[in-house]
Structure 1
C-alpha cells in the first residue's frame, strides 16, 4: 500500500510539473507574440497620430513639387532649435525602406521615445541642416521596427528630413558595425575626437544583428541640399508629403 501511495505521489508531482511547464511555455509564446507583433501595432498607431498632428500644425504651404526649382541652390540651410524631450522635430522619409516609409522624428533617445513615438534624435548632436553630426536612433525589431531595413541602404540612397522650415536631403555613404560602447560615432566629426566638422553629416544608429543587440549598426549620410517649405517638397517624396497633409 505504501509503495502504491508513493507511486501515486510521484505521478502527481510529474503531472504538476508538466502542467507548469506547459503554462510557462504558453506564457513565453504570448510574450513573444506581444513583443514581436503587438508592440509594432501599438507603435505604428501612435506614430500615425503624431504624423497627423505634425501635418496639422504646419503653416499653409504647397505639397506639390516645383520642377523648375528641383536643382536650385537655396543657400545655407535654416537650422531649427531642438524642442523639449518627447516633442516632434519633423518627419523622416527613406524611399529605400518602402514607398510609404514615413516616420516621426522625436527629441530624445530614452525608452519612452524609442519604444512608442518613433525615431529619436540624440540631444547631444546637431539639428537637421547644421554643420556637424545630426544623429538619430530607432529599433530594428519590435516597437514599430522603424529601422528594420537599415542594412539594405545602398550608396547614393537619399534620406529626407522634413521640418516646419523645409526639407533636408542627405545621401547615404556607408555603414559600419561597432560595439555598443562606441559613442564616438556621435561626435561632431564621427569617430574623430577634437576634429572640427567640415560636413553636414547624418548618422543613424540601431541594434545589430536584426534580432539581437550585441553590436550597433551605424549608417552615415552627407547632406546634399535643402529646400525651404515654400519651395515644395523634393519630387521623390512629394506623394508622401501630399498624403500626409491630406490625412491630417
Structure 2
C-alpha cells in the first residue's frame, strides 16, 4: 500500500506571514489616521486664515455702509426739520442757522475746544458699533464698537474701544484694539504706519483727524500704561507722554500669529470737521 506524500508548510512560515499581514494593516490604518488628521488640520488652517477673514471683512463692510446710511438719514431728517422750522419762524430761524453754516462753527478746526467735543458722541452701548476708523495708508475702513470682547466685537472684524478711555475727539486717550491675524485682521499692518500718517475717526457729529506720532514696537500684554489718559508705557517708560492732550492709541498683538506681546501706535488729534 502506497502512502501519499503530503507537503506541509512549516508553521514558522505561516506565523511570519500572519505577522506581516498584521503589520501591514497597522501601517495602513495609521496612514489613514494621519491623512485624516492632516486634512482636518488643513481645514482648520483654511478656516482660520481665510474663511474667518472673509466673513469678518464682509460683515465689517456691511456695518460701515449701514452706519453711513443711518447718519445720512439722520442728517437729512435734521435738515428737513430745520427747513420746516425756518419757514414757520421767519427771521428767528435764520439767526439760529447762522452758527451752523458760517463763522467759527463751519469748516475744520485745527485744535478742538471743549465746547466742540463735549456733546459730539453720546455714550455708546456695550458692543455697539458707533464710529468708523479710516487709515488711508493701509486702505482700512472699519467700524469701531464699544468694548474689546472677542466674540461680540473683535472677531467680527471690528475695532474695539477700551472701556474707560476717552471717546473720539475728547481730551484724554481714545484707545482701540484690533486683531492682527484672522477675523478680518484690521490691525495687521499698523506696524507700517509712520509719523505724520493720518487716521480719521468718523462719528455722527464730526470727523476727527489724528496724526501718527510715535510707535512702540513691543511691550508686555499687561502694559496698561499705554492706554491711560496720558499714555506712557510702564514696561518701557521712555515711550509715551507726560502732558495732557488729545491722544489716539492703537494696540494689537505681536509678533504675528501670537498674543505674547503688544504693538502700540500713538497719534495726536490734529483737526476736527463737523459733519
TM bucket by the smaller chain?
0.7 to 0.9
TM-score by length of 2: 0.75
Specify the alignment match of 2:207 in structure 1: 167
Specify the alignment match of 1:2 in structure 2: 15
Q: Contact 2:229–2:244 at 8 Å: present in 1 too?
A: no
Structure 2 gaps of 5+ residues are 1-13, 80-105, 235-240
Determine the C-alpha separation between the residues in 1 that align with 2:46 and 2:206.
Answer: 39
Determine the C-alpha separation between the residues in 1 that align with 2:252 and 2:233.
Answer: 20
Specify the alignment match of 1:218 in structure 2: 264
Q: Contact 1:103–1:146 at 8 Å: present in 2 too?
A: yes
Q: Which has the larger radius of gyration?
A: 2
2:75 pairs, out of 60, 69, 91, with 60
Specify the alignment match of 1:238 in structure 2: none
Determine the C-alpha separation between the residues in 2 that align with 1:21 and 1:157.
Answer: 49
2:135 pairs, out of 72, 94, 116, with 94
1:118 pairs, out of 138, 158, 165, with 158
Q: CA deviation at 1:6?
A: 1.6
For residues 161-211 of structure 1, the C-alpha deviation after alignment (integer angstroms, 9 at most, x for no partner) is: 000011111110111110111122111111278x99610110000011123
Q: CA deviation at 1:122?
A: 0.6
Structure 1 gaps of 5+ residues are 63-67, 230-248
Specify the alignment match of 1:33 in structure 2: 46
Higher RCO (C-alpha under 8 Å, 6+ residues apart):
1
How many residues were matched structurally?
222
Q: CA deviation at 1:81?
A: 2.7
Which runs of structure 2 are paired with 1:53-202 in the superposition (5 Å)?
A: 53-58=66-71, 59-60=74-75, 69-70=107-108, 75-76=113-114, 77-78=116-117, 79-98=120-139, 101-112=140-151, 113-176=153-216, 177-191=218-232, 198-202=244-248
Which runs of structure 2 are paired with 1:38-49 in the superposition (5 Å)?
A: 38-49=51-62
Which runs of structure 2 are paired with 1:3-22 in the superposition (5 Å)?
A: 3-22=16-35
Specify the alignment match of 1:237 in structure 2: none
Cα gap change, 1:126/1:196 in structure 2, threshold over 3 Å: closer, same or farther? farther
Q: Contact 2:224–2:233 at 8 Å: present in 1 too?
A: no
Determine the C-alpha separation between the residues in 2 that align with 1:160 and 1:72.
Answer: 14
Secondary structure of the structure 2 residue equivalent to 1:167:
strand
Specify the alignment match of 1:236 in structure 2: none
Give the number of the structure whose residues are more often helix, by fraction. Answer: 2
For residues 32-61 of structure 1, the C-alpha deviation after alignment (integer angstroms, 9 at most, x for no partner) is: 111001001110111122112211211226
Secondary structure of the structure 1 residue equivalent to 2:156:
coil
Secondary structure of the structure 2 residue equivalent to 1:120:
strand
TM-score by length of 1: 0.83
